[in-house]
Amino acid sequence: MEISLILEAVKSQIRIVLTSPIDISQSSRIEPGKLVSFGISPNTSGATGFIDESAMLDLQGNLSSLTGTVPISQVVPLCVEVSWEITDENGNTAVEGIDYIAPNGLSANNVSLIFLPPYITELSSDPNLMTSFKPKLYLVKARVTVRAGGNNLDTQLSHPVSVLPLEIPSIIAAFAHKHFASFIRGRAIVLVPPNSVIRSTKRLFETLINIKNQVAACSVVTDYFLLKQTLDLLIDALISSPEPQIWVGKEFNLNEIPYGDADFPWANQIDSFMFLSLPGRTASFSNGVRSNAQGAFRITLDVNHQNSYVLCRSLQYKKPATEPFNTELSILHDPVDDTFSNRIEKITFEESKP
């Protein structure tokens, strides 16, 4: 068999296979932040044999009872080289550090990829939001060169994958002390909108830990690094608080929410908070229940970043500082006594802008 025929035979068998670590054989959907690895099968690098018709063993001679020629089998090195490329469904080259991370590069026979979230959507029980839940399609492409005996043959392969968006729940976690501390009867209250999937502390922690694990793998990007740090802080603060309460609604009159087992309400108890939601979402905090004129501010998550959070370590100022940019808080009315610390009576999830 000629070398060219061997190369054609090898080419006909080569395909892209998923090698680790999750089984998406029945579905090509991948969560952001999950490591997936692809390789080329079969792994044909090594050596192959072929019949060299130019090198024949002549058996003719006086001492031989056989006449004719015997073909000689030759062994030649066989090498498979692979280079990888990631494109979107329109053929545009995906950008490393924006669309994906390739920890081991794109020039080995196997490639490992971590896809970054294509966008952020709300983790919600609202069926209407499912219309915006659309995975982003990528093509994992391999350019394969098979070499043997000075001959080479090229082929190109592709494998489609759909990357799911990052799902973030809307949560306001408010704390009785600055810096989210739990000392001196410090407690936490967790507020979620009516469409939230969170109804228990078990589901709350499962959700937060799952998101943290996803963004941890994406933390080479600054926005996701900051989000991961904040989720660590939020989880630790809630764990250290005795029995965080979960309340569901749109507007929350803190005069009607008991402060744990105490005989007084959450009104005028809050001194720090964290707000987790989608970029562009807003929430308002006010001194008075009936009128924001008594003192109020609005929190707006930055639309130009993927942080998806705002935190305030202390309300003990006329205009409290916020993180990560200190631009998320806008004063609607000056606070009573020039401070919002222990003056909040009402918190509202505001309507999303279309």
- Give me the pLDDT at residue 354, please: 47
Q: How far apart are CA 180 and CA 163, in angstroms?
A: 35
- Domain(s) of CATH 2.60.40.10: residues in the chain: 3-57+69-165
Q: What are the tens digits of pLDDT across the range 225-284?
A: 999 999 999 999 999 988 889 999 999 999 999 998 778 999 999 999 999 999 999 999
Q: What are the tens digits of pLDDT across the range 26-69?
A: 456 899 999 999 998 876 655 454 445 555 445 555 555 555 55
Secondary structure, 3-state, 176-211: CCHHHCCCCCCCEEEEECCCCCCCCHHHHHHHHHHH
Nearest to 154 by CA among 79, 43, 47, 92: 79
- Give CA separation, 317 vs 41, 178, 309, 320, in Å: 63, 12, 21, 5
- Give me the pLDDT at residue 154, please: 87
Q: Read off the pLDDT of each residue in 182-207 and give the average, rounded to a whole number.
A: 91
Confirm or reject CATH 2.40.110.20 for domain 3-57+69-165, answering yes or no: no
Is there a contact between 327 and 310 (Cβ–Cβ < 8 Å)? no
User: What does the block give as tokens for 47?
Assistant: 């050596």
Q: What are the tens digits of pLDDT across the range 96-116?
A: 999 999 999 998 889 999 999
